[in-house]
Amino acid sequence: MADKITDDIYWIGVDNPDSRDFHGIYTPRGGSYNSYLIRADKPTIIDGTNKPFIDQYLESLSSVIGPEEVQYIVVNHVEPDHTGALSTIMEKCPNAIVLCTAKAKEFLEAEWGIVERVEAVIDGQEYDLGNKKLKFVMDPMVHWPETMMTYLVDDKALFPADLFGAEISHEHIFADEYENFDEITRDYFAIVLRPVAGTVKAAIGKMKDLELSFLCPSHGPVYRKDFDKVIGKFQKLAEKPEEDKVTIVYSTIWHSSEKLANAIAEGVKEEGCEYELFDISKSNLVKMMASAMTSKAIAIGSLTMLGMYHPMLEAYFPFLKLNCQRGKTAAVFGTHGWVPTSVPKLKKKLEEELGYNVVGELDFRFGPKTDGDFARAKELGRKLVSEMRHSSGEQCAIPNKQ
Ligand code: FEO
């Protein structure tokens, strides 16, 4: 059902509390696909929704206004979560024309066959809604090439599409009504926006001078205060997301690599450093990616399987590359029975393909057994933290320029 933001701005989006996956992110608190209705002389919809949710969407829209009254539908971003149901919305709003970028116009035709009633707008262009005015701000590659933000000048409301989003159910309208959801924002950012951090940074620079009363993204809650803090949080995620933290990822079958991972974690903790620990067979790849994004160091371990590290790790490495780990500190560890091959191959992978600075390695035949073995693993954890804290910290600020 629709929610009122002001007398003139309504949330008419779709709540999907049962969703547990979005772009590969595990979403324990569901998701939302936001759409907004501006009640101006010329009523205007900002962003749409995906096909499966059209009935819910039309119910929300119709609870505020007759669809035939809508004059404009602004498409900030063409990804299917926002335009999958656009053809049907246009049918139900026969007097509305779509406003979008020239690239979005091309995408709408290619993706959905929508050709009629679409008008391209340009950067900085203003659009008259009678008693209110829209201004369009182009921000290509946040998250696709056709994206733009829309500013409702009179109400100081910015509709930035995916930027400033979080994949969380529509439990409330405003962000300040939620319990902390920083980790959910982090995971969303890691897969949706960190890979295009350069353009995110540029978009933030472009919108920074706009006066804000509302920040209305296409996912998650609406912000109505603390704008400097919110923008600063996203700017940090784009520019320098790393904290004093170690991500530890391992693959195990007979628990030897797991025991080593736990001992390394103990060493990290003894140095007063945070860590996140993941068994790759039980963990979400995007969450592990988001952890690595916000960590200054990583430790990766594996058993040896027919001369290689566990193949599941091969699925993780491209995620690391997408977030750029170049210059970060790393350690590798593992076990073998016949020949010691997984750890050297892990080291080579991390150094040569991912650009890590590998500062330590440990490999035990048939796993660690003695107190001395576990002490060496703890020592590796301590060394990793020490090296991390002494590293130059020269990392890829902008992943898409690596
Ligand atoms: Fe919410 Fe990039 O779509």
Ligand 1 pocket, residue 376 CB under 6 Å: no
Gap between the Cα atoms of 15 and 219, Å rounded: 10
| Overall size of the chain counted in residues | 402
Q: In what order do the strands lie in the sheet with 357-365?
A: 274-279, 243-251, 295-302, 329-336, 357-365
Distance of CA 176 to the CA centre of its chain: 20
Give helix then strand counts, H and E, for the chain: 12, 21
Centroid of ligand 1 to alpha carbon of 80 (angstroms): 8
DSSP conformational letter for 353: I
Centroid of ligand 1 to alpha carbon of 63 (angstroms): 25
Tokens matching residue 389: 């804290």
* One-character DSSP codes across 134-157: EEEEE-TTSSSTT-EEEEETTTTE
The tens digit of pLDDT for each residue in 176-197 reads 999 999 999 999 999 999 999 9
- Contact by Cβ (8 Å): 345, 310: no
Atom nearest to 161 CA in ligand 1:
1
Tokens matching residue 137: 């701000």
Centroid of ligand 1 to alpha carbon of 15 (angstroms): 15
Average the pLDDT over 84-101 and give the result.
98
Measuring from atom 3 of ligand 1, which residue has the nearest CA? 79
The tens digit of pLDDT for each residue in 305-342 reads 999 999 999 999 999 999 888 999 999 999 999 999 99
**Type of residue found at 164:** F
Ligand 1 pocket, residue 146 CB under 6 Å: no
Name which of 70, 67, 50 is nearest 58 in CA terms: 67
- 336 pairs with which residues across the strands? 365
The tens digit of pLDDT for each residue in 19-71 reads 898 888 888 999 999 999 999 999 999 999 999 999 999 999 999 999 999 99
Name which of 303, 383, 287 is nearest 346 in CA terms: 303
Gap between the Cα atoms of 126 and 135, Å rounded: 4
Ligand 1 pocket, residue 35 CB under 6 Å: no
**What's the pLDDT score for residue 323?**
87
Centroid of ligand 1 to alpha carbon of 332 (angstroms): 35
- Contact by Cβ (8 Å): 98, 119: yes
Which residues have a Cβ under 8 Å from the Cβ of 249 and sit 6 or more positions away? Answer: 278, 280, 283, 288, 298, 299, 300, 301, 313, 316
Atom nearest to 162 CA in ligand 1:
1
Atom nearest to 80 CA in ligand 1:
3
The tens digit of pLDDT for each residue in 192-236 reads 999 999 999 999 999 988 999 999 999 999 999 999 999 999 999
Centroid of ligand 1 to alpha carbon of 161 (angstroms): 7
Give the pLDDT band (50/70/90) at residue 363: very high
- Contact by Cβ (8 Å): 250, 362: no
Ligand 1 pocket, residue 79 CB under 6 Å: yes
Segments in 212-369 forming alpha helices (H): 227-239, 256-270, 285-293, 312-323, 342-348
Of all residues in the chain, the percent with pLDDT exceeding 70 is 98
Centroid of ligand 1 to alpha carbon of 143 (angstroms): 7
DSSP conformational letter for 52: G
Centroid of ligand 1 to alpha carbon of 230 (angstroms): 19
Ligand 1 pocket, residue 143 CB under 6 Å: yes
Ligand 1 pocket, residue 162 CB under 6 Å: yes
Measuring from atom 1 of ligand 1, which residue has the nearest CA? 162
Place of tokens 């057994």: 369
Centroid of ligand 1 to alpha carbon of 162 (angstroms): 5
Gap between the Cα atoms of 116 and 94, Å rounded: 11
